[in-house]
A and B are shown apart, each in its own frame.
Chain A
Amino acid sequence: MAFREDGDADDGVFILKFESWEGPIEALLDLAKTQKVDLARIDILDLVAQFDAVIGRALALRIELAADWLVMAAWLAYLKSRLLLRRPKEKGREVEDDDVLAFHLKRLNAVRTVAEKLPAGLVLGRDWFGPSGSGEQAVRGNSLTGDFHAFLSSYPVRKDPAAENDASRSPDLKPFDLSSVDAALGWLAARMPPEWVELLSLVPHAEGIRLRSNIASNFIASLEMARDGVAEIDQADGGSPVMVRKRSRT
């Protein structure tokens, strides 16, 4: 029942132990995929417990192997759970989910197989070589062809010093600074008169967006002070100016 790492094997074969199965997980998964072993007799709790044990020790193991193992265990748990929780059949559903799953596994297996075959043959730059210029030995071809990606990536690799100077010159943009409410709080607290006065007259003067920002932050600051009971704020109606004064301490 216990999970253990085979101490004799060089590259860490993970051995699963169940009542109906004892052996490396790869073999079990393969057999389960081809339905040659009865998953119904595999205890899912055991599987989860062994799964859990591996997660706990994953850092101590070779991480690549641990990852592989986890993927396989996850597949097993998935297959098993599919077995336990069969989907109710639906009208109009032509393909059984099990078929989809089987198809998926078969396709995945096929892709894995051919992925291994790709670098198995003669690889340029590894098993044989072409004239200087082919493959990874240098630039490809002597004509200027490229795709969109090549076009984009041509920019970051540019090493022309003149161009670097151009790029380092920042565009002439005014810094986008806005006055903070905190600053306005301090500003207003120092200047708030005891008599009613228009809030606008207290706003520090500036130009353009900076002035609008000052007005906004000072207005918020005055509201804040009114809430704290430090100031009073008054406006007769929607069109009239906002009046403020320091609250008299009584």
Chain B
Amino acid sequence: MTDPLSALSDKTLVETLILSSSVPVGEADIAARLGYAPDLRRLVDELNGEYGGRGLCVVEVTPGRWAARTRPEYSDLCREFARRPGRMSRAGYETLAVIAYFQPVTRAEIERVRGVSLSSGTLEVLIYSGFVRLGPRRASPGNPMTFMTTDHFLHHFNIRSLDDLPDRTQLSEEGLLSAERGISAAGFPDRGDPG
């Protein structure tokens, strides 16, 4: 009895796996499924060459992991079928940015960076949308909970990795990526008033 998979080319197998997976697929996933590791990068390049001018492409959304995506040019068509994504408030995006750039970050630090106190629903919405998850507790007085972003956040906003966040290196060089200093939400300098 012959393995039905052997009748298919590696390219077809990889294509099938990527197109059918709901999460980005890496070499390890392919190897676990096929029993051997094909040259994924070359196969994906070939696939994309064949897809040229079609409505589909295979994108390396995270280093070493690929996912099928519709071409952005045709997104208007697809949108009809998809669920309307929930709109997020500006505070939501700002909070998300703070968490993404300063993670793991506590609630108090988010408030300090943004200079305003966090309304109760903001973090919950982010967690519920799957962008933010709970991180380890901070080893500081009160053991506050920290927050981090998820892989889903990266995939959703088409960011390859946390190092590829927009302007990340620039901010880091300017030394802005510290949640320690600044003015607390109450508007007073953080180190407390003398006297």
A141–B166 touching, CB < 8 Å: no
List 7 A-B pairs, Cβ < 8 Å.
Answer: A100-B189, A104-B182, A111-B94, A111-B97, A118-B96, A124-B69, A149-B134
Interface residue? B21 (CB, 8 A): yes
State the Cβ distance, A5 to closest chain B Cβ, in Å.
Answer: 21
* A-B residue pair count with CB separations less than 8 angstroms: 145
Residues in B whose Cβ lies below 8 Å from that of A137: 82-83
Q: Which of A179-235 contact B (CB under 8 A)?
A: none
Q: Are B167 and A130 in contact (CB under 8 A)?
A: no
Known: A114-B171, A125-B82, A147-B133. A108 touches B115 (CB 8 A): yes
The interface bits of chain B over 97-127 (1 if a CB of A lies within 8 angstroms of the residue's CB, else 0) are 1101100000000000111100000000001
Q: Is B70 an interface residue (CB 8 A)?
A: yes
Residue-wise interface mask of B (66-77) relative to A, using a CB-CB cutoff of 8 A (1 in contact, 0 not): 011111100100
Count of interface residues, chain B, beta-carbon cutoff 8 Å: 57
- With a cutoff of 8 Å between Cβ atoms, the chain B residues found around residue A149 in the complex are 127, 133-134
Chain A positions 112 through 144: 1 when the CB is less than 8 Å from some CB of chain B, otherwise 0: 111111110111111111111111111111100
Task: Return the contact of B68 from the options A71, A118, A130 (Cβ within 8 A).
Answer: A130
A140 vs B67: C-alpha distance when bound (angstroms): 13
By the criterion CB–CB under 8 Å, are B83 and A148 in contact? no
Residues of B within 8 A of A (CB): 19-23, 67-72, 75, 78-79, 82-83, 85-86, 88, 90, 93-94, 96-98, 100-101, 113-116, 127-130, 133-134, 152, 155-159, 165-167, 171, 174, 176, 178, 181-183, 187, 189-190, 194
B89 vs chain A, min Cβ distance (A): 9
Bound complex: CA A152 to CA B134 (Å): 13
Smallest CB separation, B83 vs chain A (Å) = 6
| Cα A180 to Cα B21 with chains together (Å) | 66
Is A124 touching B127 in the complex (CB atoms < 8 A)? no
